[in-house]
Amino acid sequence: MARSLDGLVLAPVADQAPGQVGTGTRFTYHEKDGEIWAEYAGGDIVRGRLLGTREGDRLDFRYVQLGRDGTTSGGHCVSDVVELSDGRLRLEETWEWESRTGSGASVVEQGEPLVGPAQAARVERSG
């Protein structure tokens, strides 16, 4: 199982349709005892929340958000937690709106590598 999401900030790697989550959106995740939740905002989203569960490397949650255009919407998402080679986490998501028509897939990733290039070079030289 990949490490905890608690306290991590993740961002989409690509924009979705206008009025939805995009590269300007940031998710701040929390995790405790199999529960996950997050706050998110940015881009076309004024404020959003998600709440769900984690079992192994699979998240299952519902989300609700307020768009800059004043609309609210919500849906369901299932995500696989993947650890990248540089130590960052990625969520590979499949989602579906429950308040309107539409579904899709998206990817969000942790913003900064755990080991930057300078540190990686020092580790390689010392190893």
Q: Do 40 and 51 contact (CB within 8 A), yes or no?
A: no
pLDDT at 122 exceeding the cut of 70: no
pLDDT at 92 exceeding the cut of 80: yes
State the chain's mean pLDDT as an integer.
88
Residue appearing with tokens 């080679």: 85
Model-level pTM? Answer: 0.84
Residue appearing with tokens 């030289």: 125
Q: Could you give the count of Cα atoms lying within 13 Å of 41 in the half-sphere of its Cβ?
A: 4
Average pLDDT over residues 75-99: 96
| One-letter identity of residue 46 | V
At 7, phi and psi to the nearest 5? 85, -5
Query: For the segment 22-67, what is each residue's pLDDT rounded down to a tens digit?
Result: 999 999 999 999 999 999 999 999 999 999 999 999 999 999 999 9
